[in-house]
Copies of this chain bind each other. A is one copy, B any other.
C-alpha cells in the first residue's frame, strides 16, 4: 500500500507502565491508524513469543530481570476497529547476550519511542486459517 508521511511523535514512557498497553492507548488517544514504531530503552520481566506454525499459536517465553531494549521494531494498523501495534524486540542482558521475538509484554524502566504516522490508506488485520491476523498480501 502506497502512503505518505503523517505526524511524527518522539517521547518517553514513564517508569512502571506495561509497554504494549501503553503504546496501544497512545495510538488510540492520538488516533494513529497506520504507521511505524521504533524504540530503545530498558524493560523489566519482558515476555516474548515465537509463532509455532504446527500449533497455530504463540509459544511464550518470559525472561526475568532488566533488559536493554536493543531494538523495538513494529507497525501500526487497524484490528477489530482499533489501532493495533505489532512489535518485535531484541533484548540484551548484563553480559551483552541477546534474546528476542514478538513482544507480548514488559514493564518500562525507560522507553524512548518514535511513532511515524502514515496517511493516505487504510490497512486492516483479518483473522486467517493459520491462526494469525494479517493484512491482505501485496501482489
Residues of A within 8 A of B (CB): 1-5, 7-15, 26, 34, 36, 38, 40, 42, 48, 50-53, 59, 61, 63, 66, 68-71, 73-75, 77, 86-90, 92-102, 109-110, 112, 114, 118, 121, 123, 132, 134-139
Contacts and interface: CB of A to CB of B under 8 A. Distances in A.
Q: Please classify the interface of chain A as helix (H, G, I), strand (E, B), loop, or mixed, using the class held by over half of its residues.
A: strand
A46 to B, nearest CB: 10
Contacts of A109: 53
A61 B132 contact: no
A74 B77 CA distance: 22
* Residue from A11, A36, A88, A123 having most chain B Cβ neighbours under 10 A: A88
Contact of A138 (B8, B13, B75, B87): B13
B52 A94 contact: yes
4 smallest beta-carbon distances between A and B, as pairs: A14-B137, A11-B138, A70-B100, A92-B101
A51 B61 contact: no
A12 to B, nearest CB: 5
B10 A118 contact: yes
Contacts of A114: 36, 75
B13 A88 contact: no
A52 B109 CA distance: 12
Contacts of A86: 40, 112
